[in-house]
């Protein structure tokens, strides 16, 4: 029976071992419906093993999991009926057109009248931005167009879960941009779960990030939460002048937890940690500017890049294991 849970993927202590090697260890993974999840980790982290387990292509050594409320061991066929998948390097019959390719794919899923199938094909081509290339041979397609066609194939059966393996790898900037735009549009129709090594792409389109390392789950959180950093809400400022009174005034505020200062080329860099973002937005800059001995050169919330966060999390995990 299909689950009404908000979790489209839900695993408990899911483990897979090959003799003495644990490819995946005690994975507790939860994926919300209609979200875009960046599934990250170094090579050999356990990402491919996880996908195979979720689809019932291999059996776990221990633990359990459900997808759409179906058990991954005993009801894997029902799961695969509701999943679309794009391999990292999809292959095609390059003499066929995009429309013919989707028509061939659709025959595996639909028994409706031809007119309804053709309507679905046209809708899918429009969704991935290939309507103007629909009747041209695939042989002349760019890398980005081929990837978008691959997404169209994976999406043709209205899947509730779309698994993409490196969907924007080896593409030029325009090709990557086009693929990411398609992924954003897909949020309205399905849940997108994708593996990638391009961390900037994850930062652009994902709302949730999952990180594996050496077969273990080391991070699972909304993107904004990860990018906030371990220090919470921090504002970065570059200042000139006599900062003594301004520093005292800030530290008197209950919502200011810390002020870190560094001097660089006659200017001062402040990292102000706060506990109340609303108070900081309305008062922080005013408090500093109220002192005519201080000049503010730069002021902005501190933003972490996902690459920085990723390597910090993985590095810390490796240090713990060592």
**Which element (helix H / strand E) includes 6?**
none
127, 50 contact by CB (below 8 A): no
* Pairwise CA distance, residues 173 & 34, whole Å: 26
pLDDT above 70: residue 3? no
Flag whether pLDDT at 89 surpasses 90.
Answer: no
Q: What is the DSSP letter of 137?
A: B
Tell which wins on pLDDT, 4 or 317: 317
CA-based R_g, the chain, Å = 25
| Most confident option among 59-68, 104-113, 150-159, 195-204 | 59-68
- Which stretch of DSSP H or E encloses residue 81? helix 76-81
Q: What is the mean pLDDT of residues 271-283?
A: 91
Q: For the residues 266-293, what does the mean pLDDT come to? A: 92
Residue 131 to residue 122: CA distance in whole angstroms: 7
Mean pLDDT of 38-48: 92
Which regions of the chain carry the CATH code 3.40.50.300? Answer: 7-227
Annotation: CATH topology of 7-227:
Rossmann fold (3.40.50)
What residue has token string 């990557």? 176
Tell me the per-residue pLDDT of 172-214, one tens digit each, with 9 for 90 and over: 889 899 999 999 999 888 999 999 989 989 999 999 999 999 9
User: Over 70: is that where the pLDDT of 322 sits?
Assistant: no
The boundaries of every CATH 3.30.70.260 domain in the chain are 233-301
Reduced 3-state DSSP string for 167-206? CCCCCCHHHHHHHHHHHHHHCCCCEEEEECCCHHHHHHHC
Give 113: exposed, middle or buried? Use CB within 10 Å, 0-12, 13-18, 19+: exposed
Higher per-residue pLDDT: 321 or 7: 7
CATH, domain range 233-301:
3.30.70.260
Residues 130 and 145: beta-carbon distance below 8 Å:
yes
Q: What pLDDT sits at residue 70?
A: 95
The average confidence (pLDDT) of the chain is: 90
* Residue 94 vs residues 141, 150, 212: alpha-carbon distances, Å: 9, 13, 36
Confidence of residue 38 (pLDDT cuts 50, 70, 90): very high
What pLDDT digit, counting tens, does each position of 219-236 carry?
999 988 888 766 668 899
pTM above 0.75? yes
The rounded distance, in Å, linking the Cα atoms of 13 and 26 is: 4
Query: What does the pLDDT read at residue 181?
Result: 92
Residue entry with tokens 């009801």:
75
**Residue 295 in 3-state DSSP?**
strand
Measure the CA–CA gap between 12 and 2, rounded to whole angstroms.
18
């Amino acid at each position: 029976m299909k689950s009404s849970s908000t979790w489209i993927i839900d695993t408990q202590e899911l483990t897979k071992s090959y003799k003495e090697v644990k490819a995946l260890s005690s994975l507790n993974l939860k994926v919300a419906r209609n979200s875009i999840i960046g599934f990250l980790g170094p090579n050999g982290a356990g990402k491919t093993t996880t996908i195979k387990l979720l689809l019932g292509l291999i059996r776990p050594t221990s633990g359990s999991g459900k997808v759409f409320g179906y058990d991954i061991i005993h009801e894997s066929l029902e799961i695969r009926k509701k999943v679309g998948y794009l391999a990292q390097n999809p292959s095609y019959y390059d003499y066929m057109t995009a429309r013919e390719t989707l028509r061939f794919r659709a025959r595996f899923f639909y028994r409706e009248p031809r007119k309804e199938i053709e309507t679905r094909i046209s809708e899918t081509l429009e969704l991935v931005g290939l309507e103007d290339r629909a009747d041209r041979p695939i042989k002349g397609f760019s890398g980005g167009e081929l990837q978008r066609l691959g997404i169209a194939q994976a999406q043709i059966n209205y899947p509730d879960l779309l698994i993409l393996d490196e969907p924007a790898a080896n593409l030029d900037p325009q090709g990557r941009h086009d693929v990411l735009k398609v992924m954003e549009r897909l949020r309205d129709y399905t849940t997108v779960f994708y593996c990638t090594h391009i961390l900037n792409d994850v930062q652009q389109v994902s709302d949730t990030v999952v990180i594996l390392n050496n077969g273990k789950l080391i991070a699972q959180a909304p993107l904004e939460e990860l990018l906030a950093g371990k220090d919470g809400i921090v504002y970065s400022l570059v200042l000139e002048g006599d900062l003594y009174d301004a520093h005292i005034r800030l530290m008197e505020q209950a919502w200011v937890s810390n002020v870190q200062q560094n001097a660089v080329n006659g200017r001062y860099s402040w990292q102000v940690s706060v506990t109340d973002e609303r108070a900081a937005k309305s008062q922080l800059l005013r408090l500093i500017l109220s002192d005519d001995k201080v000049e503010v050169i730069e002021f902005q919330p501190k933003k972490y890049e996902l690459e920085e966060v990723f390597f910090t999390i993985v590095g810390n995990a490796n240090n713990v294991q060592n």
